[in-house]
Homo-oligomer: A and B are copies of this chain.
Amino acid sequence: MATHNISDSVIRRLPRYYRFLGDLHNAGISRISSRELSERMGLTASQIRQDLNCFGGFGQQGYGYNIDLLQAEIGQILGLDRPQNAVLLGAGNLGRALAQHIDFSRRGFHLIGVFDRKEALFGQVIRGLPVRDVATLDDFCRDNYPSVAIMCIPKEEAEPMVDQLVRLGVTGFWNFSHFDIAMKYPNVSVENVHFGDSLMTLSYRLHND
């Protein structure tokens, strides 16, 4: 599937295009020009055309873009049509909230297992999945081969856990812990979500904008 080298900036804009196109679809609109889309999204029309043309010519001169077709294309580019199995490590406040709050299937994932090390949580059901003893992770992975792990455990516990998961074939991490996975495993895909960092950048802007 790998189109040549698409820059991270472009990739990070794709989900936003996908969302806006979904909204336009819901509003009953069927076609749009790069200029109009740019006004709605606060980008330049040029950038939109450049971005899309990294992947192919989805528009038509004199007409613009067909919204449904373009959204479907972007969905495919993002791989939303080929969902990957994911396990959640850590069923604390954050892990539970993510499991309950995120529509994984619409984002290209299938959540198949939830693990924690606290005995008190074992068997508790979250979004239809029982919390399992992390001691049973090996067996579970050998039977179900998840390719992705969602890390909602403290930094100190993360490193051995990541080692184990990589050994078990996990190639992607959605990382909410502060352990720097990408630094240790440059070949796995890592998407970090660091709430603290995000809040601090807001703090900076509040004081300086």
Please give the residue numbers on chain A whose beta carbons come within 8 Å of chain B beta carbons, in ascending order: 1-3, 6, 11-12, 14-16, 18-19, 41-42, 77-80, 82, 84, 92-94, 96-98, 100-104, 106-109, 147-148, 171-172, 174, 178, 180, 182-183, 189, 191, 193-209
Contact = CB atoms under 8 A, between A and B. Distances in A.
A11 B109 contact: no
A197 B77 contact: no
Nearest to A150: B199
Contact of A97 (B1, B96, B208): B96
14 contacts: A2-B209, A14-B204, A15-B196, A15-B198, A19-B178, A19-B196, A42-B180, A77-B204, A82-B207, A101-B195, A102-B196, A107-B199, A148-B202, A191-B201
5 smallest beta-carbon distances between A and B, as pairs: A97-B97, A108-B203, A15-B197, A79-B207, A191-B202
B193 A174 contact: no
From DSSP, what is the main secondary structure of chain A's interface residues? helix
